[in-house]
Structure 1
Amino acid sequence: MDALDVARWQFGVTTVYHFLFVPLTIGLSVLVAILQTMWHRTGNERYLKLTKFYGKLFLINFAMGVVTGIVQEFQFGMNWSDYSRFVGDVFGAPLAIEALVAFFLESTFIGLWIFGWDRLPKRAHLASIWAAAIGTNLSAYFILAANSFMQNPVGYRINPDSGRAELTDFPAVLTNKVALITFPHTLAGSFLVAGSLIVAVGLWHVIRNRDSADTGAYRFATRFGSWVVLVASAAVLFTGDIQGKIMTDVQPMKMAAAEGLYTTESPASFSVLTIGSLDGSREVFALKIPYLLSYLGTGDPNGTVHGINDLQAQYATQYGAGSYTPIIPVTYWSFRFMIAFGMAAGAIALLVLWSQRKGRTPSSRWLLRAGLAMPVLPLLANSFGWIFTEMGRQPWIVFGEMLTRNGVSRSVSLTEVLTSFTAFTLIYATLAVIEVKLLLRYAKAGVPDVSEQPPTDDTDDAERPLAFAY
């Protein structure tokens, strides 16, 4: 083990941990805004209760996401300084805009939304949560644009004197075809997570508190969340199909590794289960669906999909001697876990809707257990999706331009990286306990009492005290 190995583990752990909060924040910001809009348009107290209830869970998650996200930027200078020097001119532009525009937009208007319930006019207060939601989604786009440059470098040139990548076409970076499909795919995955949380909490109250005066609100929440999950599941499949075709075009090795495809095939079969040799160089046994991989990769059932061994030989000729194959078991199984966990959440959403058909009230303990597992399933799907995305790119940190081993900080020792890795892991473990306890505490508390509603007119009362709604 050396500093490179530990630095990769540290970045992987902190990134996956941070992304546990990101999709829930992205999805809940929009769904809470929709619930408040429904209250604004109908005046139905049910929607106001749900807005404040799920808004509280959104704020807890948002705070944790901000705290864990700060560490990500520090690591570029701490453990990956050579990478930062090489790509900073390109990578820094979308990240700077994300911080200066998107993050400030969401953080400013979240503050106005929190403290504005008894202060802002009703329409202005509604606009503040929508502005925060727009800022959150813009933030996701700029970050994904930066990451997409690592997957498919565009809009740059290599300075022959400094050896650094220099930005030449910023619109090209923002309209990178990888970013254009990764963004809606990530949004769909985020709504899958947020909808699942709404279902889980609502279902728990419907089954455990059947005689509650707010049962109607919880029943609506379970139906609302279930439909969000189903629509998001369809969007994930649609965008994932497009993403697979783009991935085959720009990173054919990643697609081959995802399928354990060692030799070029035309047509290519989709692997349901593949067992390879210990050295990862050949297939030993495979259970396949004919023609499916060709369609997923090229859009043509008879299309050609290049195999691992052929691509390795091509890259060795193009980039020099060395291994250009990712860790096959990691890419193969992370790809399948991503799909399986996402589909499982959609299946449970269907069961929840079926259990409430014709006004019925669900009561099954098995359904409750499945519902409580719902938020975890899409979180795992998102995490495995990112593990596949990043591990499938290896050994490149910027595909075709910079190897991961060349991006690590040369002045950082193994001891220093181990120390920071251990510290971050312990801090994140503590934050995880706090996050879970806070979410469980406020989720069990149920919807708030809204007998003292915010003003329904647009009059300005300068004497009204500033109030924190939560």
Structure 2
Amino acid sequence: MDLDLARWQFAITTVYHFLFVPLTIGLSLLVAGLQTTWYATRDERWLRATKFWGKLFLINFAMGVVTGIVQEFQFGMNWSDYSRFVGDVFGAPLAIEGLLAFFLESTFLGLWIFGWDRLSKGVHLACIWLAATGTVLSAYFILAANSWMQHPVGSTVNPVSGRAELTDFGALLTNSTAVGAFTHTLTACLVTAGMFLVAISAWNLVRGRHPEVFHPSIRVGLWTTLAGSLGVALTGDLQARLMTQQQPMKMAAAEALYDTVAPASFSVFTIGSLDGTRELWSLRVPRLLSFLATGTWDGEVEGIHQLQEEAVAAFGPGLYTPDIPLSYWMFRLMIGFGVLAGLLAVTGLWLTRRSRATRRLPRWFGPAAGLGLAAPLLANTAGWIFTEAGRQPWVVYGVLRTADGVSPSVGWASVLTSLVVFTLLYGALAVVEVVLLVRAVQAGPPPPAAPAVPEPSGTSAPVATY
């Protein structure tokens, strides 16, 4: 029970935190891009757009920082044995993330917030790009640490201390799993931020509010969403092949593939037994899984039963299969919601094409875009759940089992109490986030700057233009 509650708490806090992370990363890049466009064109529409989306970015950034702090504390509270095991490995990337990336991000973001009209335009623009760079670097170092859990490299387990020790920091940072996860996450962040621009812009445009700001904003959001969706598909294909090589059980669970086959078909829909041990009926696309997993149309993909036997032979008696229905459906929800966002982007680009630039959007597109905002958020959540749940029963794949990482001295009552408290607190924070965002959206972009008033003839005194 202690283990189950600890896993539930970590899952809830991680999934909640990850609602903010992709939006923060994606918005940091888009806001920097909008300000760059204003800097290059001096078109006031882009300045107003920068300030409007920048305000929403700051609200989301603050909520992400607050919820992210809890992640660090959980390692020492509920997962002390895990922390003791991985401390030497995790210390370097997490320290760099905190001391370099986060400080870079927060310092220059502060300069950007308070630097309007105080810094030169070029220096002020550099501040938002440096803040965005810090955000991206922060994501990479965290993903490098997580990827080591998926594919341990650059380390060895000391048989005396029973701890993992870092032997090659370069190998940890260049882990193929980290590179694949970073590119996949970054493109997913662009989809999330792009749909955020689309949803809010569409809500304003169907009401005829500030089209001079929100029409270019929705076009930026739509193109970003489409480009990000294509990137997600390409990087997802790379990750599928890495997963087949490094975590074949996760791939088998993602497809509910119980027996090794070649060529392997892709399961569109599968019904399995209640205990998740065998397939009853499935709708499949021939040979597609072989291509996704191996890059060839006739490649062999190992099945759950054979992989279980191999794991028992390598690690001893035990159950080495994750929750098959959970892995299977999270994998499909991740793909399905991602495709939905891409389709909505194509539809929006058609509706906002140049010949319709002066027309109001059809009213149905506003609610559709609003619902579409949930698509990348749900895809991100499903993908994260699949990544972590599909690795079970390992917390460090092939090295440390999840059951061996939980704190031995923290009882179920303490974990349950903190779980309830965190869940209620996060619920309250969600309300705060929504209220702040809604108020900012309703307020709209800042008004156009007042035209300069010429000085009266015969005097050199400045004229107030407040």
Q: Do the two structures share a fold, i.e. TM-score over 0.5?
A: yes
How far residue 358 of structure 1 moved from its aligned partner, in angstroms, is 3.6
Residue 315 of structure 1 pairs with residue 314 of structure 2:
no
AA aligned opposite 1:448? P
Query: Partner of 1:468 in structure 2?
Result: none
Structure 2: gaps (5+ residues):
452-466
Provide the rounded CA distance (Å) in 2 between the counterparts of 1:109 and 1:356. Answer: 35
1:34-73 map, 5 Å: 34-73=33-72
Identify which of 246, 252, 258 aligns with 2:254: 258
Query: Partner of 2:302 in structure 1?
Result: 306
Query: Partner of 2:414 in structure 1?
Result: 416
CA deviation profile, 1:401-424 (whole Å, cap 9, x unmatched): 000000000000000001111111
Provide the rounded CA distance (Å) in 1 between the counterparts of 2:203 and 2:47. Answer: 20
Query: Partner of 2:396 in structure 1?
Result: 398
Residue 231 of structure 1 pairs with residue 230 of structure 2:
no
SS in 2 for 1:274: strand
Provide the rounded CA distance (Å) in 2 between the counterparts of 1:178 and 1:444. Answer: 42
How far residue 440 of structure 1 moved from its aligned partner, in angstroms, is 1.2
AA aligned opposite 2:45? R
Whether the aligned pair in 1 keeps the contact of 2:203 and 2:367 (CA below 8 Å) is no
Provide the rounded CA distance (Å) in 2 between the counterparts of 1:311 and 1:182. Answer: 24
Query: Partner of 1:326 in structure 2?
Result: 322
How far residue 28 of structure 1 moved from its aligned partner, in angstroms, is 0.3
AA aligned opposite 1:423? V
SS in 1 for 2:206: helix
AA aligned opposite 1:278? L
Provide the rounded CA distance (Å) in 2 between the counterparts of 1:253 and 1:452. Answer: 63
Query: Partner of 1:459 in structure 2?
Result: none
Whether the aligned pair in 2 keeps the contact of 1:197 and 1:374 (CA below 8 Å) is no
Residue 294 of structure 1 pairs with residue 293 of structure 2:
no
SS in 1 for 2:259: coil
Whether the aligned pair in 2 keeps the contact of 1:356 and 1:362 (CA below 8 Å) is no
1:94-113 map, 5 Å: 94-113=93-112
1:379-398 map, 5 Å: 379-398=377-396
CA deviation profile, 1:222-266 (whole Å, cap 9, x unmatched): 111100000000000000000000000000000000000000010
AA aligned opposite 1:349? A
AA aligned opposite 2:236? G
- After the TM superposition, which of the residue ranges 288-297 and 373-382 deviates more from structure 2? 373-382
CA deviation profile, 1:169-200 (whole Å, cap 9, x unmatched): 00000000000111010000000000001011
Provide the rounded CA distance (Å) in 2 between the counterparts of 1:446 and 1:82. Answer: 50
AA aligned opposite 2:279? E
Residue 269 of structure 1 pairs with residue 268 of structure 2:
no
SS in 2 for 1:304: coil
SS in 2 for 1:157: strand
TM-score under structure 1 length normalisation: 0.94
Whether the aligned pair in 1 keeps the contact of 2:97 and 2:138 (CA below 8 Å) is yes
Query: Partner of 1:203 in structure 2?
Result: 202
- After the TM superposition, which of the residue ranges 276-285 and 360-369 deviates more from structure 2? 360-369
SS in 1 for 2:277: coil
Provide the rounded CA distance (Å) in 2 between the counterparts of 1:450 and 1:99. Answer: 39
Provide the rounded CA distance (Å) in 1 between the counterparts of 2:382 and 2:140. Answer: 20
1:422-433 map, 5 Å: 422-433=420-431
How far residue 452 of structure 1 moved from its aligned partner, in angstroms, is 6.2
Query: Partner of 1:128 in structure 2?
Result: 127
TM-score under structure 2 length normalisation: 0.95
Relative contact order, CA 8 A, sep 6+: which one is greater? 1
How far residue 359 of structure 1 moved from its aligned partner, in angstroms, is 3.1
SS in 1 for 2:280: strand
Could you list the structure 1 runs, at least 4 aligned residues long, displaced by more than 4 angstroms after superposition: none
How far residue 363 of structure 1 moved from its aligned partner, in angstroms, is 3.3
AA aligned opposite 1:192? V
Provide the rounded CA distance (Å) in 2 between the counterparts of 1:299 and 1:117. Answer: 51
Provide the rounded CA distance (Å) in 1 between the counterparts of 2:82 and 2:390. Answer: 18
SS in 2 for 1:20: helix
AA aligned opposite 2:304? I
Query: Partner of 1:15 in structure 2?
Result: 14
Whether the aligned pair in 2 keeps the contact of 1:113 and 1:128 (CA below 8 Å) is yes
Identify which of 209, 218, 236 aligns with 1:222: 218
CA deviation profile, 1:77-121 (whole Å, cap 9, x unmatched): 000000000011001210110000000000000000000002111
Identity, in percent, stands at 61
How far residue 282 of structure 1 moved from its aligned partner, in angstroms, is 1.3
Provide the rounded CA distance (Å) in 2 between the counterparts of 1:282 and 1:374. Answer: 35
Query: Partner of 1:436 in structure 2?
Result: 434
How far residue 269 of structure 1 moved from its aligned partner, in angstroms, is 0.3
Q: 1:452 to 1:140 in 2, by over 3 A?
A: farther
How far residue 450 of structure 1 moved from its aligned partner, in angstroms, is 4.3
Residue 246 of structure 1 pairs with residue 242 of structure 2:
yes
How far residue 373 of structure 1 moved from its aligned partner, in angstroms, is 1.4
